[in-house]
């Protein structure tokens, strides 16, 4: 049976690739997408989600627009040198006729969770503002979720946006703090594993063939932009496919090795605001609330992600 999934996202190049994986994987029944501001503004993230689903042949999946800003304090949107001005690395995609769902993110989450016969897995790959609002507004329905799988945080690698803040958590720490303490099981796919699973430019070769279709060409174009940012920072075009690993952990759970422990989020620290603190040694004797991903089968992840997207490209040619 396919796993019923909603994806909350701020596309964003790695989000786009993660959505492609979800659309390419029969293990996932993608019920809906909700969008949030983060990598770029909410207008871009929502429009990008609609364009990506159109590209992937999934105009049937509703898109609900959510929070434009963080709950408590202003946070600057993502650096356009990472994802491009529009959020997809300058790759132009066809604009579908349909627009976003009039229910918006919260209304869509409520309706889908309330009406679906099976518990839903919520995969959150952007700032957690929408997820926190859902947990705060309808705790009764939020409790019906099977689990929450997030791309966010870090334990031994603590930050990418600040020394102690991974971007998704840093952008809205108050939202993240509520989500980790809301009582629904969290699987945290953080920097410890996403920075282990780096994709070399050559790993994407199956999407660059002369017979590549619209999907392969678009994803390869986004990877090229994303890789140029990494090259400018690290001297290598190897990229971290953060968000796809969260989706891959649902498609193939055995890809990641996790430890069940208590995780909290720092919201008051001057230097550490947005830091995820994992009590791996159970010093504080708190009830474990998170499965923290600490290792990843890198070759298997690369093979799954590129192979599935190549299959999707071939199917849609
Ligand atoms: O830190 C990586 C996360 O921040 C990813 O979700 C990426 O898309 C950005 O939102
Ligand atoms: Ca993201």
Nearest-angstrom CA–CA distance, 163 and 141? 36
Q: Exposed (0-12), middle (13-18) or buried (19+): which is 249, by Cβ within 10 Å?
A: buried
Asked if 191 and 294 count as a contact pair (C-beta separation under 8 A), the reply is no
Number of separate domains in the chain: 1
48 has pLDDT over 90: yes
- Structural tokens at position 160: 């990418």
Smallest-distance ligand from the CA of 168: 1
CATH number at residue 212: 3.90.245.10
Instruction: List pLDDT tens digits, range 228-267.
Output: 999 999 999 999 999 999 999 999 999 999 999 999 999 9
Is the pTM here over 0.85, yes or no? yes
Which protein residues are within 6 Å of ligand 1, measured from CB? 10, 12, 14-15, 38-39, 125-126, 151, 160, 166-168, 242-243
Smallest-distance ligand from the CA of 195: 1
Asked if 180 and 218 count as a contact pair (C-beta separation under 8 A), the reply is no
In this predicted model, which residue has the larger pLDDT, 159 or 74? 159
Q: Residue 60 sits in which domain range?
A: 3-316
CA-nearest residue for atom 1, ligand 1, is: 167
Average pLDDT in the chain: 98
Q: How many CB atoms lie within 10 A of CB 282?
A: 11
Asked if 190 and 167 count as a contact pair (C-beta separation under 8 A), the reply is no
Instruction: List pLDDT tens digits, range 80-123.
Output: 999 999 999 999 999 999 999 999 999 999 999 999 999 999 99
Instruction: Given the residues 116, 242, 260, 291, select the one marked as catalytic.
Output: 242
Best probe residue, ligand 1, of 159, 173, 243, 274 (max atoms within 8 Å of C-beta): 243
Which residues neighbour ligand 2 (ion) by CB within 5 Å? 10, 12, 15, 125-126, 243
Q: How many CB atoms lie within 10 A of CB 191?
A: 23
Closest CA to 189 of 164, 174, 204, 168: 168
Q: Is 83 annotated in the active site?
A: no
209 has pLDDT over 90: no
Q: Give me the phi and psi of 197, to 5 degrees please.
A: -95, 70
Indicate the angle between helix axes 242-251 and 298-316, nearest 10 degrees: 90
Nearest-angstrom CA–CA distance, 295 and 274? 22
């Amino acid at each position: 049976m396919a796993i019923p999934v909603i994806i909350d996202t701020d596309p964003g190049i790695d989000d786009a690739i993660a959505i492609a994986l979800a659309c390419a994987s029969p293990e996932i029944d993608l019920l809906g997408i909700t969008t949030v501001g983060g990598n770029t503004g909410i207008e871009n993230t929502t429009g990008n989600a609609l364009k990506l689903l159109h590209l992937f042949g999934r105009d049937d999946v509703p898109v609900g627009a959510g929070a434009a800003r963080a709950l408590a304090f202003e946070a600057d949107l993502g650096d356009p040198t990472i994802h491009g001005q529009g959020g997809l690395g300058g790759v132009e995609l066809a604009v579908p006729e349909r627009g976003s769902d009039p229910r918006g993110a919260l209304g869509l989450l409520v309706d889908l969770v309330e009406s679906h016969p099976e518990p839903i897995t919520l995969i959150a790959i952007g700032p957690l503002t929408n997820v926190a609002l859902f947990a705060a507004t309808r705790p009764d329905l939020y409790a019906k979720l099977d689990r929450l799988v997030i791309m966010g945080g870090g334990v031994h690698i603590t930050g990418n946006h600040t020394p102690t803040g991974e971007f998704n958590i840093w952008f809205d720490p108050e939202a993240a703090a509520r989500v980790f303490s809301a009582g629904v099981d969290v699987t945290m796919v953080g920097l410890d594993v996403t920075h282990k699973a780096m994709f070399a430019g050559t790993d994407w070769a199956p999407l660059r063939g002369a017979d590549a279709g619209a999907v392969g060409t678009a994803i390869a174009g986004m990877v090229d932009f994303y890789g140029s940012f990494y090259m400018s920072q690290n001297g290598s075009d190897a990229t971290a496919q953060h968000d796809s690993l969260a989706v891959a952990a649902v498609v193939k759970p055995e890809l990641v090795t996790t430890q069940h422990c208590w995780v909290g989020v720092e919201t008051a620290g001057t230097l550490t605001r947005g830091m995820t603190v994992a009590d791996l040694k159970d010093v504080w004797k708190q009830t474990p609330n998170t499965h923290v991903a600490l290792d990843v089968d890198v070759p298997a992840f690369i093979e799954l992600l590129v192979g599935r997207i190549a299959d999707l490209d071939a199917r849609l040619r």
